[in-house]
């Protein structure tokens, strides 16, 4: 005869209830350990995906703001260049004619100091005119029809002639450099231009070297000088050295700006490295093997 007892799965037997009643109360340390194990559980995949999406959204917003900043800077450059060329240029021309008239009207027995003063004023006026012309040239967007390498080669040549600095320009022969858009080429050019202008204004250097380097993922502009090194207060006011604008142009193309002061390997000077991501510059482009060639100025 079958003597087994069938207990429904949803019911609790008296023995089970008694067993539960005899279980000791969990200690506080056990509860803490249980909570710790629960806290260490890996986050759900959906949470990771949401975090990645948020990071991507923020990075895209940074790129948008950086691009807007560079567009504003270029508009300001055009406006200042226009004012210098038209308004300041016209005033300088008027002053030049006025000085020429005074020199003509001076009597033959005029004191020698008058002629000396006029010559000094003329030299000062010539210096201001030349400085204004250089400023207008720097402010205007460069001609990029023949590519970024050609534009930088010509500009560094004129920079060396104007400043008297020894210059070298070394460029990676990478086919992707010929496929840069106008906006990308302008960003690369402006960063290199600002870096070299800082050398002329602040470094007290005898020479500077500029390199265009490429990797499968990045294009880099590297500018090194043999001057006194970056001032300690440079990071406090980046506007004085144009660093804020340089960073913005790098950020607009998923890049970054690095500044290295003197070190054991480089006892003097400063090195500026501006990196731009190829993916942002070109999209999904092919990645040909790069080789080096040097142009000595």
Q: Could you read off the pLDDT of 64-84 as tens digits, one per residue?
A: 666 676 677 667 766 776 677
- Domain limits, the chain: 62-140, 144-297
How far, rounded to the nearest angstrom, does the alpha carbon of residue 206 sit from its chain's CA centroid?
Answer: 24
pLDDT at 63: 66
pLDDT band at 3 (very low <50, low <70, confident <90, very high): very low
d(CA 69, CA 187): 12
Answer for the pair 143, 151: CB distance below 8 angstroms, yes or no. yes
d(CA 255, CA 264): 27
The more confident residue out of 71 and 258 is 258
pLDDT at 290: 42
d(CA 249, CA 186): 9
pLDDT at 72: 73
Q: What is the CATH number of domain 144-297?
A: 3.30.565.10
Average pLDDT, rounded, for the chain: 76
Among 32-41, 110-119, 181-190, 270-279, top mean pLDDT goes to: 270-279
pTM above 0.85, yes or no: no
């Amino acid at each position: 005869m079958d003597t087994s007892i069938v207990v429904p799965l949803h019911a609790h037997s008296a023995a089970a209830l008694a067993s539960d009643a005899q279980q000791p109360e969990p200690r506080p340390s056990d509860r803490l350990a249980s909570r710790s194990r629960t806290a260490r559980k890996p986050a759900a995949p959906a949470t990771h995906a949401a975090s990645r999406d948020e990071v991507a959204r923020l990075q895209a917003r940074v790129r948008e703001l950086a691009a807007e900043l560079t567009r504003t800077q270029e508009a300001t450059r055009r406006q200042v260049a226009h004012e210098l060329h038209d308004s300041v240029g016209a005033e300088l021309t008027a002053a030049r004619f006025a000085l020429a008239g005074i020199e003509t009207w001076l009597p033959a027995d005029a004191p020698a100091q008058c002629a000396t003063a006029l010559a000094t004023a003329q030299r000062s006026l010539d210096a201001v005119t030349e400085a204004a012309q250089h400023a207008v040239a720097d402010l205007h967007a460069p001609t990029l029809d023949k590519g970024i390498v050609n534009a930088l080669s010509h500009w560094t040549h004129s920079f060396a002639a104007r400043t008297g600095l020894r210059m070298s320009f070394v460029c990676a022969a990478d086919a992707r450099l010929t496929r840069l858009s106008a906006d990308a080429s302008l960003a690369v050019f402006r960063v290199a231009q600002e870096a070299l202008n800082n050398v002329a204004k602040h470094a007290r250097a005898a020479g500077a070297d500029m390199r265009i380097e490429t990797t499968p993922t990045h294009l880099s502009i590297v500018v090194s000088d043999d001057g006194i090194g970056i001032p300690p207060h440079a990071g406090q006011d980046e506007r004085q050295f144009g660093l804020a604008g340089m960073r913005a142009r790098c950020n607009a193309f998923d890049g970054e700006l690095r500044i290295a002061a003197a070190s054991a390997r480089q006892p003097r000077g400063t090195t500026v490295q501006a990196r731009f991501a190829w993916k942002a510059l070109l999209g999904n482009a092919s990645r040909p093997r790069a080789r080096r060639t040097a142009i000595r100025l």
